[in-house]
Amino acid sequence: MQFVRRFLFAGLLCLGLALPAFGQNDHLLISEFVVTPTAGEFIEIYNPTNATVDLTTYYLTDDVSNNNNDYIKVVNGAAALAVANFDFLVKFPDGASIAPG
């Protein structure tokens, strides 16, 4: 009986933790990223909102000092720009958008 109670408690706890994941999000999510093999690196962006999101002002970087001066148009499928110390900066071109769902 003790095992059944623990199993039931664990199941309810997992369900309770998972329920917020089914709520409506108001922002884009990076749902997947792959770093190997280096020739096949990619990120996947998911739009869980009910509206198309304009990607014009969105970019990915690990060097915030670059001030958006150099970027690669991700939508065209170009590779990321290599900058000093193996940093990168990737920006979506004007007019790029992602549909809901």
What is the count of structural domains for the chain? 1
Q: What span, in angstroms and rounded, lies between the C-alpha atoms of 25 and 29?
A: 9
Residue 42 lies in a domain: yes
Residue 62 lies in a domain: yes
Task: Give the DSSP H/E element, type plus range, for residue 37.
Answer: none
Residue 8 lies in a domain: no
Q: If you average pLDDT over residues 48-74, what whole number do you get?
A: 67
Q: Which of 4-8, 49-53, 59-63, 92-96 has the lowest mean pLDDT?
A: 4-8
- Is the full-model pTM beyond 0.85? no
Q: What span, in angstroms and rounded, lies between the C-alpha atoms of 83 and 63?
A: 9
Task: Give the DSSP H/E element, type plus range, for residue 80.
Answer: none
Q: How confident is the model at residue 86 (pLDDT cuts 50, 70, 90)?
A: very low
Residue 71 lies in a domain: yes
- 8 A C-beta contact, residue 93 and residue 86: no
Q: What span, in angstroms and rounded, lies between the C-alpha atoms of 42 and 34?
A: 5
- On the question of pLDDT at 82 being above 70, the answer is no
Which range marks the domain in which residue 85 is found? 25-98
Task: Give the DSSP H/E element, type plus range, for residue 17.
Answer: helix 2-18
Residue 75 lies in a domain: yes
